[in-house]
């Protein structure tokens, strides 16, 4: 395995081969505007995992490069913090990790690294670019992993001992699809899989959160909100400042189902 800074260095070589930092900065401003200011207008214009086909937040090569260079490492840091903070998440090691709506593969990779690098990671996303980028992420981090195109509405069956993560994806699904995905995730936990759901802390992003959090607690899991200092690699600090952002600390909220103790779908 390689460390976070080595991965970010590899990302820099990969995505700054075709773009200048100034171009990435402009794309990052546009991308941040799409995610923060106009989020409500793009729900369901995107594919699962926030990686849209056609018009959407990642509808240009520059925005895709900006996402991979900036937001993917932030998602890695957030996932790594939550996984390290929840007892039983990384140890005993999961037999495999399934990353639903994997995007560039950052969240599933963070779990695999926390578990010592041995679990096989499988990423699923609807966008071909995301699938290709996730495959590269696993290779770059020295992990055993694969990614494929798939649909959040038809999740694969998971076995006891598997870890399942859905990071920053359920909020981007239509209500009916999200409900089906939630049932699949709770059902996987009932069969013994460890399940972690990560979402932004903004309440307007996920109006369904409180109900899902109550269900998780009743089923023996937990719901948390996290805020922690961000020790960003140099490139991320440069992009953060240049784009007028402020990530001195990171925030995320989580639902955790430890597996085997929760009730399945009604």
Cα–Cα distance measured from residue 261 to residue 216, given in angstroms and rounded to the nearest whole number: 11
pLDDT at 155: 80
- Check if the beta carbon of residue 135 is closer than 8 Å to that of residue 104: no
Query: In whole angstroms, what is the distance from residue 50 CA to residue 28 CA?
Result: 15
Instruction: Identify the bridge partners of residue 224 per DSSP, sorted by sequence position.
Output: 254
SS3 state at 158: coil
What's the rounded Cα separation, in Å, for the pair 76 and 5?
Answer: 12
List 205's β-bridge partners, or say none: none
User: 19 and 63 in contact (C-beta within 8 Å)?
Assistant: no
CB atoms within 10 A of CB 27: 23
Contact by Cβ (8 Å): 135, 98: no
pLDDT bucket at 205, cuts 50 / 70 / 90: confident
The secondary element (H helix, E strand) that includes residue 140 is helix 128-140
CA–CA separation, 22 and 11 (whole Å): 16
Pair of tokens at residue 135: 């495959």
Q: How far apart are CA 138 and CA 52, in angstroms?
A: 21
Percent of the chain with pLDDT strictly greater than 70: 89
By the 8 A CB rule, do 66 and 14 touch? Answer: no
CA neighbor of 230 nearest in space, from 50, 68, 4, 58: 4
Please give the Cα distance from 138 to 118 (Å, whole number). 12
- Expressed in angstroms, the distance from the first to the final Cα of the chain is 41
Indicate the pLDDT class of residue 260, thresholds 50, 70 and 90.
Answer: low
The reported pLDDT for the residue numbered 116 is 94
39-81 pLDDT, tens digit per residue, is: 544 333 333 443 433 346 778 899 999 999 999 999 999 999 9
Does residue 47 or residue 136 have the better pLDDT? 136
pLDDT digits (tens, 9 = 90+) for 184-204: 999 999 999 999 999 999 888
pLDDT at 44: 37
The 8-class DSSP code of residue 155 comes to: P
Whole-angstrom distance, CA of residue 103 vs CA of residue 50? 7
């Amino acid at each position: 395995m390689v460390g976070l800074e080595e991965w970010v260095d590899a990302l820099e070589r990969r995505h700054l081969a075709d773009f200048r930092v100034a171009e990435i900065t402009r794309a990052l401003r546009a991308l941040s505007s799409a995610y923060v200011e106009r989020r409500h207008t793009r729900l369901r214009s995107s594919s699962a995992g926030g990686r849209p086909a056609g018009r959407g937040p990642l509808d240009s090569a520059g925005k895709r490069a900006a996402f991979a260079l900036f937001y993917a490492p932030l998602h890695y840091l957030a996932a790594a913090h939550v996984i390290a903070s929840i007892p039983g998440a990384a140890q005993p090691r999961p037999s495999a990790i399934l990353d639903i709506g994997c995007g560039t593969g950052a969240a599933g990779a963070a779990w695999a690294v926390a578990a010592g690098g041995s679990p096989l990671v499988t990423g699923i996303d609807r966008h071909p670019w995301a699938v290709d980028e996730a495959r590269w992420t696993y290779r770059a981090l020295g992990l055993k992993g694969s990614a494929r195109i798939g649909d959040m509405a038809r999740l694969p069956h998971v076995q006891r001992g598997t870890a399942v993560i859905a990071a920053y994806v359920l909020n981007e699904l239509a209500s009916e699809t999200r409900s089906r995905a939630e049932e699949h995730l709770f059902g996987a936990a009932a069969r013994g899989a460890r399940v972690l759901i990560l979402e932004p802390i903004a309440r307007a992003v996920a109006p369904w959160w409180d109900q899902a959090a109550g269900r998780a607690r009743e089923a023996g899991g937990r719901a948390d909100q996290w805020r922690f200092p961000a020790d960003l690699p140099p490139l991320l600090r440069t992009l953060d400042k240049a784009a007028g952002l402020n990530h001195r600390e990171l925030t995320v909220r989580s639902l955790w189902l430890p597996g085997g103790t929760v009730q399945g779908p009604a």
